[in-house]
Structures are given as C-alpha cells and as structure tokens.
Amino acid sequence: MDNLPARKGRTPPCDLDDEDSKGHAGTDPPQLTNPGPVRIEATVI
C-alpha cells in the first residue's frame, strides 16, 4: 500500500518535469499516459 501513496507524491514533481521538458514534445505524451493508469489503480483501491 505504501507504494501507491509514494507514486502519488511523485505525480506533482512529474508535472514540473513535463513543463521543464517542453522542448521534448515526444516525451510529454508518454509521461501523461503513465499517470493515467496509475490513477486508475489508485482509484480501484
């Protein structure tokens, strides 16, 4: 269970990284896809 909350804590920092990596358009789509599935798993629990 601790792993799920830990991921949530990493979600905010990931958003900041996306903003910093605006130059890497190819990197934005994959990063946005990762948080999606993670949120679904957290919602199920």
pLDDT at 41: 62
**DSSP 8-state secondary structure symbol assigned to residue 21:** T
pLDDT at 34: 53
pLDDT at residue 40 in the model:
59
Domain borders along the chain are 1-11+32-45
The pLDDT tens digits of the residues spanning 5-39 come to 555 555 555 455 555 555 555 455 555 555 555 55
pTM of the model: 0.12
The distance in angstroms from the start CA to the end CA of the chain is 9
